[in-house]
Amino acid sequence: MLDEEAERLFRLECLETLNWPPCAPIPSHISKQDPSLEFHNVANNLDSLLQSIDAPANIVPKVDSNGKIAGFEEYERVVVGSANTSMSINRAPFKQKSLHTSALNSIKGSPGNVPFIPGFLEEIEEMMGNKEKSSNGGGELKYLNFSDEAALLNSVPTLGRIKIPEIVPLKKEEKEVVHTEVAKPVDTSDVFDFLNMLNSDEYTVVEKPKTSKKVEDIPIDKPIEIAEQDDNEISNLPEIVTKPYIFGEVISNKPGEKFEYARKLEKSPGEEEEYQRLMPTMARKYPFTLDYFQQSSVLCMERGESLFVAAHTSAGKTVVAEYAIALCQAHKTRAVYTSPIKALSNQKFRDFKQIFGDVGLVTGDIQLHPEAACLIMTTEILRSMLYNGSEVIRDLEWVVFDEVHYINNEERGHVWEEVLIMLPAHVKIVMLSATVPNCVEFADWVGRIKNRKINVISTDKRPVPLEHFLYTGQDGKTQRDLFKIIDRDGQFILKGYNDAKDSKTKSNEKEKAGGSGGRGGSRGGGGMKRGGGNSGGGKNWPGKNDKNIYLNLINFMKCADQLPMVIFVFSRKRCDDNAQMLSSMNLTTEVEKQHVRTFFSQCIQRLKGSDKELPQVLTMRELCLRGFAVHHSGILPILKEVVELLFQKGYVKILFATETFAMGVNMPARCVVFDSITKHDGTERRLLNPGEYTQMAGRAGRRGLDSTGTVVIICKDSSIPLPDVLKNVISGQALRLESKFRVTYSMILNLLRVEQLKIEDMLQRSYVESDSLRESKEKKKALCEMRRALEEVEPIECETCTPNSQLRDYHDAVIAFVQKRANIWPKLNDENVINKLLGSGRFLIVTSAHNQLQNECALLIKELNNKSIQVLSVSKDSEETTQKNLKAVKFSKLPKTDINWLTEENQILGTTKYGTRGVAQCPQTAQSFRLSEIPLSGIVAVTKKSIKNVQSAEILQEYNMLQIPRFRDREISESIRKLMQQITTVSQQLASKELETYSWKELRAMCQNLELSFETDWMESIESELNLPKAFPARHCTRFADHFDLLRNSVRIERKVKSLEYDLSSDALRLSDEYQNRLKVLESLGFVEKKMVSLKGRIGCEIHHQELLITELILDYKFHKRTPAELAALLSTLTCQYNCGKEVTFEPNSVFAEICESVKSVLTRLESEASKHRAHISDVGCEIRFDLMEVVYEWANGTPFYQIMEMTDCQEGLIVKCIQRLDEVCKDVRNAGRIVGDPALVEKMEEVSASIRRDIVFAASLYTTV
C-alpha cells in the first residue's frame, strides 16, 4: 500500500513539473533545489550526467491532444547497431576515437565502418527490422484520430488561436484530372521523401470554402475531381500558393517496354503554365528565362525525382546542379557535387561559394569547410565516403554527377559505376552529360539498380549555333581563304568544300613551281568565306609554314572580330612551341597590359622567393601581356588558373590548349580552331571521334554575345579530308556510354569487410551487366514457369523403359555419340589423308536440320572452307525442293538455342531411326535436286565410293537458274539426272549393305594425331555398344517412339531450367572469372583468409593506390630504414606519370639503385604470384615509373624548385602533380601505420609529408580564396 502511494505521488510530481510553463519559476514544493546554488554549475557538469548506461526499457510521456502529459508509456528499447556492425541508416552515429583524425578522415569515415545499405539491398534493411511496416500503423499516425475533428488541435499550445486552412484537392483545368497514388503511412526513416510529399501539390492549401467535404470523405483510390462545385465557385477560389505536382507530359513506358526504368520527358503544350505556377515558390530564382530542358529538370527535382540531363557544352546544365543545391538548402539537408578532375572541383567551389555561401571543398590535398551543407569533391572521395560509412551520407539528399560521359574513361570510369551502385536509397541523383546516343539505356540501368524511375531530359539545341570552316591559307595572299562547310543548321555545304579543295590544289601547284602559295577561292568582301574542313593527317610538329599559317589566320580573325580564340593542339610541346613562335604578335592595348600586369603580380605574390622567377612563370607572364597563353597539364596549376581567369576577363585573346581545357568551367570563346583532327591516344594516331570534337567545338560561341560560334579546321596537308570523314567527325554520332567497370583489389577488400554485401551483387549491378539485369525479371518468371512445367511432365510408366533408368541411359549414350561425332569430323578434315577422302565426287551420309536432311545420301560437290561443304541431294519434285528451301530460310532466323536443339534432335532421331550409319531411302521417282551447304559436323559417314569430274560450277549455275520461278519447271540437264540416279543407287546399296562406309578403325589408321586416334577409338567403342542388341533393352519397347518423345520433352525443359539458373547465377557474370582470379591472388598473398579480410587486408583497405604493392613494402620493412627524402623518392615511383622515353639507369650501389631494386623485387614477386592465377597487379594507369625519383628526392631535401627543374626535361605541371599525388599516398601509408600499430612509421610518413608540402607545389588555388 505504501509503495503504491509513493509511486502515485511521484507521478503527480513529475506531471506537474513537466507541465509547468517554461518561463515561470518552479515553486519550492516542487523544486527542493537550494536557491543559492547557481544553475550554471549544473550545466558545466552535463557531460558527466550523460555518461549513463541505457536501460533495457525506456519510459516516455504520453501527450494528449492539448499538448499536456497525461501519463507515461514504457516500451522496450530498440537496439540499434553501431557503425562497425550495422548498415542501417538508423544506426548509432559514428564517433571518431582518435585524436589524430583529420578533417578529411572525418568526412571520409573510417575503414572500420561498414557502408550504409546501398539502394539495391533495401530488403536487407527490412529483414533487419529497421523499417516500420505499414501494417503497424507506426509513427505519429497511431496518435492521430482523423475521424474525430474535436480531438485535433486548431491552435498551437502557448500561442494564440490561428486559423488553419483546410486541405482540399487541387482543381485542374477542364478535362484534366490529377491522378494520385493510394496513401501510405509515412516512413520516418526517409526524411527527404517526407519533405517531397509536403512540397507536392497532391493536396493544396486553400482557404476553407463554406461547404466542403470532410478529409476522410475524399476518395484516395480514384482520380480527384470536384464535381460538386460549379464553375463560379471554382473561379472564386484564391490563388494557389503551393508547388505543382506534375509538369509537362511524361512519356510513360508501356508494359514490357525495354527501358522501363527510364522515362524520357519531352516538351508539352501546358509546360509553360505549370512552370509559371512554380516560379513564386522556387528554391532558387533566376534573372533569365530558363530553357525548356532546365524547366523540366527543376520540376522533376521539386518532385524529388532523379534525372539524367544530356545537353551540349555551354547549354546551361549548371542551372540544374544549382537548383539541386538550392533544394538541399531549403530542406536543411546536404548536397554533394562531384566532378572528374580536381581543377574542375576548385572552379565549381568558387562559383557555388559565391551563390550559396555554405559550400565546402574536399579533395585529396585540400579540405575547406567540410561541415558545409554543399560539398564539392572528386568522385573518388565520394567513393571512399560510401565504402567507409561516412556520417555525411546520412544527411545527403542530392548527389550531382557532372560530366557523366567521363564514365567512358578507361582508367577511372569504373569509379562512377561503383558510386552509383553504392549510393543508399534515400539519395537522389542528378547526372549531367554531353549528348550521348544511349542516355535512355544508361538511365534505365541506374533506375534498375536504384529501383526507381529516372527522368531523361535531353536536348540537341545549342544556345549559340555553330558554323564550321576549313582554312587553307598559307600566306598574306591566301589569308582570307576560309570556307564554310557546315552552316548553323547543320547542313553540309558541298560548294564550300569544293572551293577549299580547289584552293588547296592551287597552293600545292604554286609550291611545286617555287611560289609561296596560291590564292584559293573568292574573297568575301571583308567577311569570312563560306566553306570548311580539317586536316585529316596533320603534322605533329610546327613546320616551316606553321608560323605563316597562324600569323595570317590570327590577323584575319582579328579583323573579322573573331577573338578571343582557343586553338586546340594535341601535344603539350607543340602548344608551347606555337605560342613562342608568335612572339612578334601583340594583341593587347596598353590599358589591357596594365591590367594583366597587375593581376598577374597579385596572383604570383603568394609564391615564395625564387618561385616567382621560374622560367615558366616569366614566360607565361610575357605571353599574357601580348594576349597569348598556353593551357595544358604541363603548366603549373596556379598558372593555369591565372590563364583561365584572364581568359574569362577577355585579356587572353589566343589560347593554345590541349583537349583537357574543354572539360571545365564554362569559358566560351568567340572562335575555336583545330590544329588537326587527328591525335595520338597513347596507342595509335587516329581521327577525333565525334564526341571529342563536339566537346571542344562547343567552346565556340558566347551566349548573349554571339549569334553564332565559329569553328575552324586548319588544313596543313597537301590534301583536305574527304567529305564523309568531315561529316563523321563534325556531325557524327557521339560515342555511346560504355562500361569500363573492372574488378579491383581495393573493391574486393572493401566489400569483403561487410558481411551483408556480396561482391557478386556489385558485379551483377555494374553497367557491363545491364543487359542481363534488364532481362533478369523475365528470366526469373520463365524459370518459375519451366519448373512448373517440369513438375507437370507426364511420367513414363513402362516395365521396359523405366527400371534403372534404361531409357535415360540409352538417351544419354546417343547424345554422347552424336555430339562427339559432330566434333570429330572437323578435326579429321585437318588430316591430309582424310581430307582427300572429302574431295569433290565423294558420296556421303549427311544430316542437317537446317536443310531438312536426316541421314540422307548426298554427293559432295565441293569443300567451301574448313568448316562446311556443299552437297547435292535428291527430292521428290520441285515443289518439295521449294518448300525445303523456304523452311531453311525460316530455320536460320530461329534463336540460337532453338537451332542448337533442333540440330541435336535431328541427329538423335536419325540415329535412333536408322542406326549409327543407317541411311534414309531416296524417293523412287526423284524429279528434283537440291544444293545444300552443311557443316562438317553434319557428316554421318563417308562411303567408299566416289566419282570423278564433277562439274560443280555447271551444277551451281543450273541450280540457281531453277530457283527462278519462271524456270522452275524447266527440264533438268542430262548430266545432273545421271548424278541423281547415282545417288539413288548408292542409297539403295548402302541400305542393302552392298556398299560400305569407312569405319572408325579405318579412319584411325589414317590419323597422324595421337589425341585424335584416342577419340576415334572412343567412337568405335560407343558405336559398338549402341549396335549391340541387348545393350539397351529400352529400344525393344513397343512404345519406344512415344516414350522417347516424352523423355526428350523432359530433357528440353530440364536444359532450359539449367540454362536459366546459370544465367541468373553469379557464374554467368562477365567479370566473374576476373573476380575469382583476383580473389585467389589476395588469398595466396594473405590479404584474405577464408573469405575474411585479414590484418594485412585491413592495411590494404587504407591504401587507395597500388594497395598490394604498398602493403607488401610496408610489411617487408622497406620503409623503416629509409630517410624521409628516400621514402619520398621511393613512393614517387607509384605516382609518376612522366615517361622520358628511355629506360632510367642509376649509378650502381647508389640509393636510387637500391630503391629501384627494392620496388622491382617486390613487384616481380607479386606479378609472379598473380600470373599463376591469370591476373595482374597493376591496373590501367598505375604503371611503375622511376623517371622522377631524383627530382622528388631533391625536393624532399629542400632544394628550390628552379634547381630541380634543371635536373629533368619533365614539365613543371607534371612534377607538381606527381608530388601532390605522393602526398596523398603518404597519408594512406600513415593511416596504415596506425592500423599496424607502428608509431615510428606514422611519424616518418608525417615527416615525408611535411618535407614535400611547401612552396609552389602546394600553392593555394586561386579559386579557393573566395
pLDDT tens digits, residue range 1114-1165?
999 999 889 999 999 999 999 998 888 788 888 888 999 999 999 999 999 9
Work out the pLDDT band at 236, boundaries 50, 70, 90.
very low
Residue 932 pLDDT exceeds 80: yes
pTM: 0.79
Please identify which residue in the block is written with the cell numbers 555551354. Answer: 314
CA distances from 111 to 89, 153, 362, 754 (A): 17, 49, 18, 11
Would you state the pLDDT for residue 470? 96
Q: Residues for the chain: how many in total?
A: 1266
Q: What pLDDT score was predicted for residue 55?
A: 61
CA distance 867 to 936: 6
Domain 78-131+242-463+734-741 sits in which CATH superfamily? P-loop containing nucleotide triphosphate hydrolases (3.40.50.300)
Among 27-36, 130-139, 412-421, name the one with the lowest average pLDDT.
130-139
pLDDT band, residue 122 (cuts 50/70/90): low
How does residue 1253 score in pLDDT terms, banded at 50, 70 and 90?
very high
Which of 425, 423, 439, 442 has the alpha carbon at shortest distance from 767?
A: 442
Give the pLDDT band of residue 198 (cuts 50, 70, 90). Answer: very low
pLDDT at 536 (0 to 100): 41
SS3 content of the chain, % helix, strand, coil (to 5): 45, 15, 40
What is the reported pLDDT for 189?
34
* Distance separating alpha carbons of residues 973 and 984, to the nearest angstrom: 17
> Which of the residue ranges 11-15, 552-556, 1066-1070 would you say has the lowest mean pLDDT?
11-15
**What's residue 153's pLDDT?**
54
pLDDT for the residue numbered 244: 33
The predicted pLDDT at position 419 comes to 96
Contacts 24+ apart (CB under 8 A), 326-329: 326/283, 326/284, 326/356, 327/283, 327/301, 327/302, 327/397, 327/398, 328/373, 328/374, 328/397, 328/398, 329/283, 329/356, 329/358, 329/373, 329/374
- Residue 596's pLDDT is 96
Write down the pLDDT at residue 123: 53
Helix spans in 332-464 (H): 342-356, 379-387, 413-422, 439-450
Contact 430, 436 (CB under 8 A): no
Q: Name the amino acid, one letter, at 635.
A: I
CATH number of the structural domain 466-651+666-676: 3.40.50.300
Structure confidence at residue 52 (pLDDT) = 53
Q: Taking the domains of the chain in order of start, what are their residue ranges?
A: 78-131+242-463+734-741, 466-651+666-676, 803-1038, 1078-1264
For 1055, the enclosing helix (H) or strand (E) is helix 1040-1063
What pLDDT shows up at residue 62? 78
Q: Are strands 396-401 and 262-266 parallel, antiparallel or unpaired?
A: unpaired
Q: Tell me: the pLDDT tens digits for 1017-1040?
A: 999 999 999 988 888 888 888 888
CATH number of 1078-1264: 1.10.3380.30
Angle at 677 between CA 672 and CA 680, to 5 degrees: 120
Residue 686 has phi, psi (to 5 degrees) of -145, 165
Please check whether the two domains, 78-131+242-463+734-741 and 1078-1264, share a CATH topology.
no
Exposure class string for 574-585: b at 16+ Cβ within 10 A, else e: bbbbbbeebeeb
Please report the pLDDT score of residue 553 as a whole number: 95
Amino acid (one-letter) located at 541: W
In 571-637, DSSP assigns E strands to 628-631
* C-alpha closest to that of 259 among 453, 458, 459, 460: 453
Short-list 350, 290, 367, CA closest to 323: 290
pLDDT band for position 420 (50/70/90)?
very high
